[in-house]
Amino acid sequence: MQPDSSTGLNGKGQDLKIVSLISIGQHPASGRARRAEQDGRAVELGMTLAASSSTQNLTVLHAGDSQQAALRSYAGMGLESVRVLQLRESADAVKTLSEYLHKHAPDIILTGVRAESGESSGMMPYLLGESLGWPVVSRIADIVSIKEGVAEILQALPRGQRRALTVRLPFIASVDNAAPEPRQSAFGPANRAFMEQQQCHSEPDTARNGWSIVSARKRPKRLKIVKAKTAADRFKAATAKPQGAGGKIMKNQPAAEQAQAIFDLLLEEGVLR
Amino acid sequence: MSDDHYSEILRRDPRAERIARNRLHALHVAVSVGGQATEVRGPSGLLRKNPHTVGFTGPNGIKRIDRLKGNAVAIKNGRRNAPGSQEALLPLHVIAEPAFTIVVVPDMVGGRLTAHDKDVLGQAHKLARAIEADSNETGVVMVVAFGVCKEENFDKAGVDRLLLLDSAEYEGYCPEQQIAALAQVEVRFKPKYWLFPDSVHGGTDLGSRLAARLGERPVAQAWQVDTKISICRGAGGSVDITRATPRLLMLAEECANPIDESRHEVLPVAWESIPVVSPQLLDKGQVAVDPNAIPLAEAEFILSAGNGINNWDQFHTIAAALGATEGASRVAVDDGYMPRFRQVGASGTWVTARVYLAVGISGAIQHMQGIGQCDKVVTINTDAGCDMVKRADLSVIGDSETVLGELLSLIEMFRQQPHQSQNSVSNSVKNAVENGAKEGAENAA
Amino acid sequence: MVFEWLHPVLIATALLLAAIGAVRRVNLWRAGQAESVDFVAGLIAMPGRYLHDLHDIVERDKYMSKTHAATGGGFVLSLAMIVLVHLLGLESQILAWALLVSLTLMFVGAVFVFKRRLNPPSRLSKGPWMRLPKSLLAFSGAFFILTLPMAGVLPEGFLSSSTGGWILTAVLTVFIAMGLSEMLLGMTWGGPMKHAFAGALHLAFHRRPERFGGGRSTGLKPVALDQRVLGVQKPEDFKWNQLLGFDACVQCGKCEAVCPAFAAGQPLNPKKLIQDMVVGMAGGSDADYAGSPYPGKEIGQANGGPLLTITEGLIDPQTLWSCTTCRACVEECPMMIEHVDAIVDMRRFLTMEKGSTPNKGAEVLDNLIATDNPNGHAPNSRTNWAADQNLPLLSDVKETDVIFWVSDGAFDMRSQRILRAFVKLLKAANVDFAVLGAEELDSGDVARRLGDDATFQSLAKRNIATLSQYKFKRIVTTDPHAYHCLRNEYADFAEGIADDLFDNIEVLHHTTFLNQLVQAGKLKLNPYKGGTVTYHDPCYLGRYNGEYEAPRELLRSLGIEIAEMERSGFRSRCCGGGGGAPITDIPGERRIADMRMEDVQTTGAELIAVGCQQCTAMLEGVVEPRPQVKDIAEILIESLVEPLAKELH
C-alpha cells in the first residue's frame, strides 16, 4: 500500500470500511485446525489498508463457532476483537453472511480463495458478490491504491505474474497466496482478544446431507498411454527404460558450443522472452 | 482440401521397380531386401506382398515369419518423395442433429488448448457417451473460446462445435463480458453440463462466476465424474466428497483421458450478437514483473549460483539478461553473496521452476530435494561426477565464467534481433483453423 | 588542631552520601517484579558464596584473582578499621598497625591493578575503569600516611606541625577525598565500585541459589501465561534480583571474549547487553559506555528508561536474536550474572506479545503448534525412519527399562544415521528399551529458546502426560537439547499431571548411558583404527548439564587419545546451532560453525567426535575439505564387536 491522503476514504468522503472474512484452516500434514493461509493474508491486507487510513475500520468476521481455538490465531496478529456470527456446524454460512454484510455495507470484503476445510469449493466470494450485486475480483495479490472510490488492484497470475485491474468500490476480493504473508500470530494478544459473539438466524445446508466424505484417496498417476498395434510394441513400451534417465553431458566441447547448447535448450523451453 | 490429400498421391519410381523385378541387377539386393521387402507396389499401384522376403532365417536355419510387421526399423525407400511420417487419418466423429449439448469453456492459455483443457474435453465426451448409452440420444461437445485463438487441433481434441468469441470486448481479462456470453449460451442451448477446468488460468474464476449467476451448486476439484456421481476433493484437498453430479463442474487435472482416437467436426456456431456489458472490472494489462521480485517458489526460470561462482557481477548481469529469477545454494548464502531468501533447498525454498539453471552447484542432498519438482535442469559445473550432473538434463563441464560469458553474448545477440516470427505463426494458425472448420462443415453436409 | 575534624567529617559525609546513594540504587532494583528470596539465608551465605563460588571463577585467571584478593580484601579490612580509627577516633596502636598492614595489602593490589591497566586487553572497559587503579592507590596511600602518626611511626601532630605538614595535609585531603568518592560514593552512585555493593547483594539474593556450592541451575524459568505482559518489555518487567544482577557487572569482558556471536561479528556483546540493561534500569543513554560495542553498531545511539520498551531504542532485536544460548558468557562471568535468562526474557516479549520472531522463526513456531515438529512434517511420519528397525513401542509394551527419546532427528536423514547407530548399540548390549513412536512430540527446546513459552509449555505438558502413562526407569536421548528440557525444564510442568514423575526416573544423554554400558562390559569394542580425533562439547550437554567426562571416557575406551581443542570442556565454543540461531539467522561477518571448524583444524584432527545432531549438522555444513564429523554412537558402531547371532536371540 502506498500511503496516500485519499487512500483511507471510500470516495464518498467516508472512512473506508473493510471486512476480512476468516474461516478455520486445516494443516495439510497434521489436519489440525489453524489459521488458514489465504484468510490470514486477507486479514493482513485488511490490517495494512486499515493502518493507512486514520480510523482502524477493519472488522474480522467469522461465521461459525466462537469457541474454535484457531480463531485466536487470527486475533494474535494484533486484533482487539473478532466478530463471530454464531452458527451451527450444519448451517449455511452464505445466507447469514450476506444478510450481515448487506446490513453493514462495507466498502471492501476480503476473503481467501478457497477454504481449507469443508467443501472448499471457493464459491463464497462469488455467492456473496452475486447476492450483494458487487463485482468480485479473484486472486488478488495486493491493493495498490484507493483513490476517489476506485481501487487499483494487482491480480496474481500463475508463475508470479501480475495483472493490474481497477474496480469501483464496493467490491469483494479473494486473496491469493501471492499476497503478502500474514504477520506472526502472537500468543499474548491472541489470548486476550475479545470474541464478539453475535447470535443469528441460520438455515441448515441440506444439500450436503447426501454427501459421503472420506479422507482423500491418493490419485493414481496417469500412465503414459501407449497405443500399440502389436504385442511387440506393447512389450517394448512396458519394458523400455523411461526417457531422460540420463542427461546429456558436454565435457570437451569449446565453451562457445556449450553455451550454444544451453541457449538452444532455453529457447526451446520458451523461457527466453 | 488439406495437405494430407496431396501426400496420398503415389509417386512411382519406375527404375526402382525395374531393379526390384530383375534379380540379376547389381542393385537388386539393396533395393528389394534392404528396401521395402514385404510389400511392394505393383505396376497398377496395388500393394503386393512378396512372400520371399517375409520373415528371416532363424539361427537353426529355419525360416521364421517376422511378426514385427514392419515396426522393426523404419525402412525408407520406394516412395522417394513421401513425407517423413504419415499420420493415419483418424475417423471423423459426426453428429448432425444433436439432442443435447455439453459445453466446455477451456482456459486456452496463449490461445491454445492446455493439457488440462483436453482432459476436460475428454471428460465431456465420456459424459456424452454415458448419456447416449442411457437414453440413446446423441449430443455434441461445444467449446466456448474467448479471445485470440491459435489452436489448430480442435478437431483432434474432441470439439464438435466451436463458439469462438474473439471480438474486441473479449480481449484481456473480462469476466463480466464472458459471463454475459455464457448466460446467453445457457438460454439458447440449455447445456446438459457445463464443464470448466479447475485451474488458476481462469477456469475456476469463470466457472465460479457462472455457477453463482445460474444458481448452480458446482463441484470443484472433481476428479472422477459420471452422470450419476462425482468425486471431488474438499477441505483443501484432504478429503474426497462423493456427491450427485451437478450441472456445472469444475474439473481437476487428469480427470479423464483426452480424446485421441477420433476427429471431430469443429462446426462453428452461428451467433447473433451478445450484448456488450459495461464492466466494473477494468483490465489495465499485465504488469512487467521484475524476475527477481517473483517468489522463488513460483518462478518459472531460475538461475542458481553456488560455490563455483567467482564473478558475481557477471552472474547478476546474466540473470538480468536471461530474465531469470536468481537462486542460490546454501554455501553461496552462508558466504554472504546472496540473501537468505534466495536459498534453494530443503532448508530454503522448494522451487517448481520449469527450467533450473544451476551454476557451480555440486548438489548437496538438501539442494536436490529442493529442486525435485523442476522440469528441466541444466548445470554448468567443473566436476562431471557430482550429483547435480547426474540429475541434470544438460550438463556442461567447464569453467562457469567462460561459459556464462559465451551465453551472455548469445543472449545479447538474440535480444538485438527483432523477432517477428510469432506474428507469422499466428496468421498461419488462424488459416489452418479456418480450413479445419470449413472441412468440418463440408463433412457434416 | 584546626583540621582534626576534617578527615572524620570527610569520611562521615562520604558514608552518608553513600547510604543515600544506596537507598536510591535499591529503589531502582525494587522497581522490578517481585521474586521471593530467602533474605536471611542469602545474606548469611553471601560471604561463603563470595569466597568459594565467585572466587573459583576468578581463580581461572591467577593474576587477577591474587590482585583482587589483595585489593578487595585489603579495602574491606581497611574501610572497617578506618571507620574505627579515623571516624570514631578509637586510639589503639595495634589497630593502627593492623590498618597499616591492610592498607599496604590494598596498595600492593592496586599497583597490580595499575599494571594491568597500562595495556588493557580489548575486552576490558575503559573510561572510569581506567581511573580506578589511581583512586585505589590514592585511597590506600593517603590513609596510610594519615594513619602513620597513630601507629606511632610519625610523631602526633606531625601533619600540622610545619609548613610542609600543612601542604602534606592538603595534598592528603585531596587524595582522601578522591579515594573516598571513588570507593564510597562510586559504590552506590554508579561508579566502577558499584560492583562491590551490588555484587555482594547479588550473591546474596541470586535468582539461582542452586548454582552456589558446585550446583547447576540451567533450566529457564517458566512464564505465567496469564500475565499482563508476557516476557520483558520494559526494564521494570525483570525480576528485581535480575536488575540487581545487572548492576553487579564489573565489565571485565570475559563474556565478550567467549561469546561466539560476538566473535562472528553478529550484533551481540553480552557485556554491552548487561550495561544496556543498567542504562535502561537507571534511564539515560549508553554514551558513557567505554567498552567494545555490538559489532557493527555505534555507541551513543541507545536510550532507555525503566518504563520504556527495551527493543525500541535501547536494544536492537537483532542483538537478542544473535544469541545461541550457549551459556559461555554465564559460565565465564565472575559475578555469576545470568545473560541467557535476560535474553530469553526479552525474546519472550518479542515472540509472545509482538509476534516478531525473525526469518523462519514464525514458520517454525507455527509448525510446532500445528504438527508438533519444527519443519511441518506429518506427525505420523515420525516413525518412518525406524520402519526397518523393529523397535518396541511403549504403547504396546507399556513397561520398559529405558525409553529411547528419539527427538526430531527422526525427520532428518543425517540424524537418522545417529539414531540407527544408537539403536544398534542398544540391541547389541541387550538393553530393555522402547520408543514412544508417534506419541513423542518435539521437546519444545526451539520454541522455548525462541521465546514462545506457551508452545513449549503445551508440548511439555503433553509429553509429560504421555510419559506418565508408562512404567520405566530411564529416558535416554541422543539429542542434548531434548535431554536438557527433559532433565532440567519439564519438572516445572509436571505438577497436576504426574507430580513425582521426574523424582523417580533418570534422564540420560546417550553418551552417558553408553559409557555405563561399556564400563559394565556390556558392549565389546575393538580399538579405534583411524587418525587423530578431537571432541566437540555440545553446549547443552556440557555447560548445561555438566557432562564433560562420559563422552571422553567412551572415546578413551576405544583407545583414542583425544586431541583437545584449546576451547573445550566448559570453555567449548558453540557450533552456532543452539537457541534457534540457525532459524533466526542474524547476519554476521563469519559463521560460528566455520570458526569452530578452525578450532578443530588447529588440532590436526581428522575426525570430530560429537554428541549432538545439531552440532553434527552445523559442523558438516562447513565447506569441505574439512575433518569428518561423527556422533560418538557412529564411532562406537564401527568398533563394535558384533555379538554372535545366537547371543542376540
Q: What is the pLDDT of residues C509-540, one digit of tens each?
A: 999 999 999 999 999 899 998 889 999 999 99
pLDDT for C93 beyond 90: no
Average pLDDT over residues C495-503: 85
R_g (Cα) of chain C, nearest Å:
28
B68 chain-A contacts, CB cut-off 8 A: 230, 232
pLDDT for C265 beyond 60: yes
pLDDT for C2 beyond 70: no
- Give me the pLDDT at residue B345, please: 85
Average pLDDT over residues C78-96: 88
Nearest to A122 among B175, B220, B391 (CB): B220
List the CATH number of the domain containing A85. 3.40.50.620
Nearest chain C CA: its distance from A78 CA (Å): 8
B236 chain-A contacts, CB cut-off 8 A: 25-26, 28, 114-117, 120
Which chains sit next to B, with 3 or more Cβ pairs under 8 A? A, C
**Structural domain contains residue A182:** yes
- Give me the pLDDT at residue A118, please: 86
Subunit contact C355:A32, Cβ cutoff 8 A = no
What domain range includes position A180?
18-205
Nearest to A126 among B71, B208, B235 (CB): B208
Nearest chain A CA: its distance from C379 CA (Å): 6
Tell me, yes or no, if A27 comes closer than 8 A to chain C by beta carbon. Answer: yes
For chain B, what's the residue count? 445
Element (H, E) at C158: helix C158-161
Does B24 or C244 have the greater pLDDT score? Answer: C244
Average pLDDT over residues C624-628: 87
Predicted confidence (pLDDT) per residue in C570-596, tens digit: 999 999 999 999 999 898 888 899 999
- Which residues neighbour B88 within 8 Å (Cβ) at sequence distance 6 or greater? none
Does C318 or B354 have the greater pLDDT score? Answer: C318
Subunit contact C585:B340, Cβ cutoff 8 A = yes
> A-C interface: how many C-beta pairs under 8 angstroms?
53
pLDDT for B419 beyond 60: no
Domains of chain A: total: 1
A73 chain-C contacts, CB cut-off 8 A: 369
Nearest to A29 among C230, C356, C377 (CB): C377
Q: Residue C154 — very low, low, confident or very high, per pLDDT cuts 50/70/90?
A: confident
Subunit contact A30:C372, Cβ cutoff 8 A = yes
pLDDT for C482 beyond 70: yes
Q: Where do the domains of chain C lie? A: 42-182, 252-354
pLDDT for C501 beyond 70: yes
Residue B442 sits at φ, ψ, to 5 deg, of -60, -45
Return the percent helix, strand and coil in chain B, to nearest 5. 35, 20, 45
Subunit contact B209:A126, Cβ cutoff 8 A = yes
pLDDT for C3 beyond 90: no
Subunit contact B330:C621, Cβ cutoff 8 A = yes
What value does the mean pLDDT of chain C take?
Answer: 91
C585 chain-B contacts, CB cut-off 8 A: 340
**Structural domain contains residue A51:** yes
Does A239 or C632 have the greater pLDDT score? Answer: C632
Q: The whole model's pTM is what? A: 0.84
CA–CA separation, C367 and C374 (whole Å): 5
Complex ipTM value: 0.86
Residue type, position C601, single letter:
Q
Nearest chain B CA: its distance from C412 CA (Å): 10
Tell me, yes or no, if B241 comes closer than 8 A to chain A by beta carbon. Answer: yes
Q: C511 with C549: CB under 8 angstroms?
A: no
Q: Which domains are seen in chain B, by residue range?
A: 1-89 (no CATH), 95-281 (3.40.50.620), 291-416 (3.40.50.1220)
> B-C interface: how many C-beta pairs under 8 angstroms?
9
pLDDT for B334 beyond 50: yes
Subunit contact B205:A138, Cβ cutoff 8 A = yes
Subunit contact B307:C623, Cβ cutoff 8 A = yes
Subunit contact C225:A77, Cβ cutoff 8 A = no
Subunit contact A212:B281, Cβ cutoff 8 A = no
**Structural domain contains residue A254:** no
Report which of C73, C149, C63 is spatially closest to residue C105, judged by C-alpha positions: C73
**Structural domain contains residue A82:** yes
Shortest CA distance from B349: residue in chain C:
C360
pLDDT for C129 beyond 70: yes
- Residue C286: count other Cβ atoms within 10 Å of its Cβ: 21
Name the one residue in this structure whose C-alpha cell is 454415458: B130
Q: Exposure pattern of C437-468 as b/e (b: 16+ CB <10 Å)?
A: bbbbbbbbbbbbbbbbbbbbbbbbbbbbebbe
**Structural domain contains residue A1:** no
Tell me, yes or no, if A235 comes closer than 8 A to chain C by beta carbon. Answer: no
Does A238 or B144 have the greater pLDDT score? Answer: B144
pLDDT along chain A (273 residues), means of 10: 48 78 92 93 93 79 91 93 89 89 92 90 94 94 91 89 91 93 94 90 83 87 68 70 65 88 86 75
Average pLDDT over residues B71-79: 44
Cell of B266: 469443429
Predicted confidence (pLDDT) per residue in C322-370, tens digit: 999 999 999 999 999 999 999 999 999 999 999 999 988 999 999 999 9
3-state secondary structure (DSSP) of residue B193: strand
Shortest CA distance from A230: residue in chain B:
B68
Provide the pairing of β-strand C284-285 with C303-304: antiparallel
**Structural domain contains residue A183:** yes
For chain C, what's the residue count? 649
- Residue B310: count other Cβ atoms within 10 Å of its Cβ: 11
Residue C219 sits at φ, ψ, to 5 deg, of -70, 140
Residue C472 sits at φ, ψ, to 5 deg, of -160, 165
A251 chain-B contacts, CB cut-off 8 A: 384, 397
Subunit contact B340:C621, Cβ cutoff 8 A = no
Q: Residue B209 — very low, low, confident or very high, per pLDDT cuts 50/70/90?
A: very high
Nearest chain A CA: its distance from B114 CA (Å): 14
Residue type, position B142, single letter:
M
Subunit contact C623:B331, Cβ cutoff 8 A = yes
> A-B interface: how many C-beta pairs under 8 angstroms?
244
What value does the mean pLDDT of chain B take?
Answer: 81
Nearest chain B CA: its distance from A180 CA (Å): 11
Nearest to C359 among B331, B334, B340 (CB): B340
Q: Residue C445 — very low, low, confident or very high, per pLDDT cuts 50/70/90?
A: very high
Kindly write down the DSSP assignment for every residue of B36-82, as one continuous string. S-SEEE-TTS-EEE-TTTSSEE-TTS-EE--TTTT-SS----S-TT-
pLDDT for C258 beyond 90: yes
**Structural domain contains residue A7:** no
Report which of C573, C516, C509 is spatially closest to residue C541, judged by C-alpha positions: C509
B331 chain-C contacts, CB cut-off 8 A: 623
CA–CA separation, B303 and B326 (whole Å): 5
